[in-house]
Amino acid sequence: MTAAIIDGKAHAAALRGRVADAVAAFRERAGRAPGLAVVLVGEDPASAVYVRNKGKATREAGMASFEHRLPADTDAATLLALVAQLNADPAVDGILVQLPLPAHIDAEAVLLAIDPDKDVDGFHPVNAGRLAIGAEGFVPCTPLGCLMLLKDVHPQLAGLEAVVIGRSNIVGKPMAQLLLQQSCTVTIVHSRTRDVAAHTRRADILVAAVGIPRFVQGDWIKPGATVIDVGINRTDAGLVGDVDFAAAQGLAGAITPVPGGVGPMTIACLIRNTYVSACRREALDAVAL
């Protein structure tokens, strides 16, 4: 068997197109564009690229992008004052503070300061809580993108065995919550799990969010499983995922490549969340995206 390749780039382009159409209709009705504010502190090169790409995607969708670049030695009080200003700004529907922050700033305090109703990254504890109880909020963009890719392969996820490798607050835990909401039977494995492969071999749906290059071996995969590789690892051989793609391709039913799988969905989901936020704030019905 050769796995079908899940083309995240094409899915993301389609989602961005749907968001752009929805934004055009929003602008007509609300008389303004949805706005996303992105805050970058310092010069981390990878973060600078992410921020540039987010700004570009925001503008391409017909939304307003407010970019705030602060020097690496910015103190916490200055950053918190900017967040407060963005919370109060009616033109701003979404606020994203790019992580990681410099070590002298308490990242958790900054995330807590963001208005949960503008927290389009879905990292605020209020949104994590809303996800846990199934209330309306914002879901972190990477797991949301993974779910969209999964639903394209399995319109009906109920009853499937899902295994998530990783329990971070930004990927593993919200991914598990989303799969549970879809009525999958969910197992989360992590660095203290005794036999990771024994769990993955049962998985109809396997999501790897570990951060270790080619961690998941071919023989860890149940034949026909759908494999979502969240990993982005920079190696001498270039960008690789958390799954040994070449080995997995012979067993999986469908698999995301790295790059070109989950990655492009993350930014597409960010602009989707920003559009949804704008609709909620204007009390307009959002188009289902």
Q: What does the binding site for ligand NAP look like in residue numbers (CB under 6 A)? A: 142, 165-168, 170-172, 189-193, 196, 209-212, 230-233, 262-263, 266
Residues 258, 231, 136, 28, CA torsion sign? negative
**Widest pairwise Cα distance in the chain:** 57
User: CA-to-CA distance for 159 and 164, rounded, in angstroms?
Assistant: 15
Distance (Å) of CA 157 to CA 52, 138, 160: 35, 21, 6
The reply to whether 152 belongs to the active site is: no
Q: Which of 54, 118, 173, 222 is catalytic?
A: 54
**Backbone phi and psi for residue 69, each to the nearest 5 degrees, phi listed first:** -110, 120
Identify the DSSP state of 231.
-
- Minimum CB separation of residue 78 from ligand NAP in Å reads 27
SS3 153: helix
CA angle 282, 284, 286 (to 5 degrees): 120
Residue 236 is among the residues annotated as catalytic for this protein: no
- Of the pair 90, 192, the CB lying nearest ligand NAP is at 192
Nearest distance, CB of residue 209 and ligand NAP, angstroms: 4
Q: Name the residue nearer to ligand NAP (CB basis): 82 or 265.
A: 265
Q: Which is nearer to ligand NAP, 62 or 166 (CB)?
A: 166
Q: Looking at 93, 121, 204, 244, which residue is catalytic?
A: 121
Annotation says 156 is catalytic? no
CB of 185 to ligand NAP, least distance (A): 19
Between residues 50 and 275, which has the closer beta carbon with respect to ligand NAP? 50
Q: Which are the catalytic amino acids?
A: 54, 98, 121
